[in-house]
Amino acid sequence: MKFTLSWLKDHLDTDASVDEITEALTDLGLEVEEVVNPADRLAGFTLGHVKHAEKHPDADKLRVCTVATDEGDLQIICGAPNAREGITVVVCKPGMYIPGLDITISVGKIRGVESFGMMASERELELSDEHDGIIELPSGEVGDSFVDSRAENDPSKIDPMIEIA
């Protein structure tokens, strides 16, 4: 049987963590086969704000964006149709692993212009199959944790799934 942490908390008055719940289930004689916690793979992602976006000089479908991050402004090349000035986005900095692409981001040149990271779509973060553009968040401060933002605005996408035999 599989169930989410939020479903369990709807039926059980508790503030226990996932680890405490799985331990209690085991103590009751139930075999916990797996816990999938999307927040674990998203822990390092933070929010950024697109301060400026302009057409790439050598590509029609790419934009050169200046993104405010917790590490200062970064230049990020983006091909998403919704990459534009004024939106709050999920920032993937060099060295971060992108689960939906199975790659680690590095600094690189895209058609001769340096890019210092990327802005992610839901599919790239394995939150859904949505890949029509980058994630646009309704609010959030630069440098805030993406996991905390998602927990506040759309908790079902990061809800831990517990499977018992």
Write out pLDDT tens, residues 92-144.
999 999 999 999 999 999 998 899 999 999 999 988 888 889 999 988 899 99
Query: Which run of H or of E encompasses 49?
Result: strand 46-55
pLDDT at site 51: 97
Distance of CA 49 to CAs 85, 106, 107, 160, Å? 8, 20, 19, 28
pLDDT at site 85: 96
Q: Quick check: 55 pLDDT over 90? A: yes
Distance, CA of 122 to CA of 131 (rounded, Å): 6
Can you tell me whether residue 4 is helix, strand or coil?
Answer: strand
Of the candidates 118, 128, 122, 111, which has an alpha carbon nearest to the alpha carbon of residue 97? 118
pLDDT at site 77: 96
> Six-digit token pair at 160?
């831990």
Distance, CA of 154 to CA of 82 (rounded, Å): 20
Q: Quick check: 157 pLDDT over 80? A: no
pLDDT band at residue 155, thresholds of 50, 70 and 90? confident
Residues 138/86, Cβ–Cβ less than 8 Å: no
Mean pLDDT of 13-20: 88
pLDDT at site 151: 81
pLDDT at site 56: 93
Q: What is the largest CA-CA distance in the chain?
A: 63
Can you tell me whether residue 153 is helix, strand or coil?
Answer: helix
pLDDT at site 35: 92
Chain segment 87-99, per-residue pLDDT in tens:
999 999 999 999 9
